[in-house]
Amino acid sequence: MKEFWVEVRPWNKNLATTALESGATAIFTDEPEKAKELARVTVIGEGGDLVPERDLHFVTISGKEDEENAVELSRKGWVVVTTQDWTVIPLENLVAQSRSVIASVKNKEEAELALNILESGVAGILLSTNDASVIRDTGSYMRNSSENFSLKIFTITRITPAGIGDRVCVDTTTLFNEGEGMLVGNTSHGFFLVNAETLKNPYVAPRPFRVNAGAVHAYILKPDKKTAYLSDLNSGDRLLLIDHEGNSKEVTVGRLKIEKRPMLLVEALCEGIKVHVMLQNAETVRILGEGGKGISVVSLKQGDRVYGVLSEEARHFGHAINESILER
The side-by-side arrangement of strands in the sheet containing 3-7 is 42-44, 26-28, 3-7, 124-128, 101-105, 78-83, 56-61
Whether the CB-CB separation of 181 and 321 falls below 8 Å is answered with no
- Residue 83 belongs to some domain of the structure: yes
- Residue 19 belongs to some domain of the structure: yes
Whether the CB-CB separation of 251 and 239 falls below 8 Å is answered with yes
Q: Do 199 and 79 belong together in one domain?
A: no
* Residue 195 belongs to domain with CATH number: 2.170.16
- Residue 92 belongs to some domain of the structure: yes
Residue 308 has pLDDT above 50, yes or no: yes
Q: Do 180 and 308 belong together in one domain?
A: yes
Q: Do 199 and 128 belong together in one domain?
A: no
Of 143, 172, 195, the position where a domain reaches its end is 143
pLDDT in tens, 286-297: 999 988 899 999
Quickly list DSSP for 139-205: HHHHHT-------EEEEEEEEEEEEEEEEEEEEESSPPPTTEEEEEEEETTEEEEEEPB-S--SSS-
- Across 244-298, the runs of DSSP E, i.e. the strands, are 248-270, 273-280, 286-288, 294-296
Q: Do 210 and 263 belong together in one domain?
A: yes
Residue 315 has pLDDT above 50, yes or no: no
pLDDT in tens, 104-150: 999 999 998 888 887 678 899 999 999 999 999 999 888 776 677 89
Q: Do 301 and 164 belong together in one domain?
A: yes
Distance CA 102, CA 95 (A): 10
Q: Do 57 and 156 belong together in one domain?
A: no
Q: What average pLDDT does range 146-175 have in this prediction?
A: 94
- Residue 94 belongs to some domain of the structure: yes
Q: Domain limits at 251? A: 152-321
Q: Do 219 and 258 belong together in one domain?
A: yes
Distance CA 123, CA 95 (A): 8
- Mean pLDDT value across the chain: 90
Q: Do 190 and 300 belong together in one domain?
A: yes
Whether the CB-CB separation of 146 and 243 falls below 8 Å is answered with no
pLDDT at 116: 82
pTM listed for this prediction: 0.65
Of 143, 167, 199, the position where a domain reaches its end is 143
- Residue 326 belongs to some domain of the structure: no
Q: Is 171 exposed, middle or buried (0-12, 13-18, 19+ CB in 10 A)?
A: middle
Pairing of strands 3-7, 124-128: parallel
Pairing of strands 305-310, 152-172: antiparallel
pLDDT at 319: 44
pLDDT at 324: 46
Distance CA 282, CA 268 (A): 19
Residues whose CB falls within 8 Å of the CB of residue 89, separated by 6 or more in sequence, listed in order: none
Q: Do 60 and 88 belong together in one domain?
A: yes
Q: What average pLDDT does range 319-323 have in this prediction?
A: 46
Residue 326 has pLDDT above 90, yes or no: no
Of 116, 143, 170, the position where a domain reaches its end is 143
Residues whose CB falls within 8 Å of the CB of residue 37, separated by 6 or more in sequence, listed in order: none
- Residue 165 belongs to some domain of the structure: yes
Reply yes or no: is the peptide bond before residue 202 cis, omega within 30 of 0. Answer: no
Domains identified in the chain, total number? 2
pLDDT in tens, 169-208: 999 999 999 999 999 999 988 999 999 999 887 778 899 9
Residue 277 has pLDDT above 90, yes or no: yes
Q: Do 102 and 218 belong together in one domain?
A: no
Longest dimension (CA), the chain: 67
- Residue 327 belongs to some domain of the structure: no
pLDDT at 314: 39
Pairing of strands 238-243, 219-221: unpaired
Distance CA 325, CA 7 (A): 46
Pairing of strands 305-310, 190-195: antiparallel
Q: Do 130 and 161 belong together in one domain?
A: no
pLDDT band for position 255 (50/70/90)? very high
- Residue 299 belongs to some domain of the structure: yes
Q: What average pLDDT does range 14-25 have in this prediction?
A: 96
Q: What average pLDDT does range 3-28 have in this prediction?
A: 96
Degrees, nearest 5: CA angle 74-78-81:
80
Q: Do 45 and 82 belong together in one domain?
A: yes
Residue 164 has pLDDT above 50, yes or no: yes
Distance CA 90, CA 107 (A): 19
Nearest to 196 by CA among 183, 184, 209: 209
Structure letter (DSSP) for residue 129: -
**Higher per-residue confidence, 31 vs 145:** 31
* Residue 15 belongs to domain with CATH number: 3.20.20.70
